[in-house]
Amino acid sequence: MRVLVTGASGMLGRRTAERLVAAGHDVRTFQRRPAGVPGAHDALGSLTDPRAVARAVEGRDAVVHLAAKVSVSGPLREFEQVNVEGTRTLLTAARMVGVRRFVHVSSPSVAHTGGSLVGDGAGPAEPERAHGSYARTKAAAELLALAADDADLAVLAVRPHLVWGPGDTQLVARIVERARAGRLPLLDHGAAMVDSVYVDNAADALVAALERAPEAHGQALVVTNGEPRPVGDLIAGICLAAGAPPPGWRVPAALARVAGGLVEAVWAVRPGHDEPPMTRFLAEQLSTAHWFDQRRTREVLGWEPAVSLDEGLARLAEHYRG
């Protein structure tokens, strides 16, 4: 297939493009800066530029859409422009050139309304009830994508949960940086059970979704390793793999949520140069259970994770030693 991968400068997008190249597909990547994936061709531009999007999708049979504004803070309009309007622009361009398969990469946060998720499947995306600008706009984008599904364009939404691995500049890098600075607490006792997914497994799931789209289209699937662990254990494992001290102090989750609200208010007036140290959404994610039933995902995609969490942590440690 002739595949367009958006957002290939990110860890998961790059790994997905690499997997597609290795499988023999003709791969073009689209993002604001060169991805440099061996064997793929870069097309540079932004989802907010319809002409650049039209050029990127020209001549493609399939799209794997990962590009998004990912942050726990920032003006809502910026999230809307990239995550919602950008997805709309891409879908329109894809349909105009006859793209037949479209894998939309979403997030389990689109169905999270503040409570624990315990053994759930992929609940409905709810923009009005999701928490935070990222989750709300990703929910709206997922609904747009699935609404475009029909006999001519097979759309499948995939929601990887807490993707991590070597080279991760989001989850892993921020955990390690804050741990080394002594600014990484556990909320309550770090006992909330959470799922995550190692990056290679997530990329394999996206490739499987592209292959299965004609049969599996029109639905949303959550992708995880299927190995839920206490969030404190997962964070400690990442810290130890990177040679950083695990969290040594605790904060009540209720207090963290209040503090997160105050930080958000300050950030809205005087934003810092980095992500805020805490937000209400982040406090919720660190103190409520998030683990998912993977049976349907594995059945529909014909996929199973090849790398366990322990093997992933060993690979992460090797990366940091290198």
Give the predicted TM-score (pTM) of the model. 0.92
Asked if pLDDT for residue 263 goes beyond 60, the answer is no
* pLDDT bucket at 121, cuts 50 / 70 / 90: confident
Question: What integer pLDDT is reported at residue 267 of this predicted model?
Answer: 58
Identify the weakest region by mean pLDDT among 36-40, 170-174, 244-248, 261-265: 261-265
Question: What integer pLDDT is reported at residue 181 of this predicted model?
Answer: 86
Contacts of residue 75, defined as CB under 8 A and 6 or more positions apart, other chains included, come to 133
| Residue labelled with tokens 């329109």 | 92
Q: Do 15 and 7 touch, CB atoms closer than 8 A?
A: no
**Which of the residue ranges 143-157, 174-188, 242-256, 262-276 has the most confident prediction, judged by mean pLDDT?**
143-157
Domain range summary for the chain, segments of one domain joined by +:
2-161+197-223
Can you list the positions of beta strands (E) in 150-209? 154-160, 163-164, 186-187, 193-194, 197-198
Average predicted confidence (pLDDT) for the chain:
89
Which residues are annotated as catalytic? Answer: 134
Report the distance separating Cα 62 and Cα 219, nearest Å.
17
Mean pLDDT across 261-286:
62
CATH superfamily of this structure's domain 2-161+197-223: NAD(P)-binding Rossmann-like Domain (3.40.50.720)
- As a whole-number percent, the residues of the chain with pLDDT over 90 amount to 66
* pLDDT bucket at 241, cuts 50 / 70 / 90: very high
User: What is the number of other CB atoms lying within 10 angstroms of the CB of residue 110?
Assistant: 27
The angle formed by the CA atoms of residues 60, 64 and 66, to the nearest 5 degrees, is 135
Supply 134's token pair: 């990222």
Dihedral of CA 208/210/215/220: which sign? Answer: positive
* Sequential DSSP letters for 53-79: HHHHHTT-SEEEE------SSS-HHHH
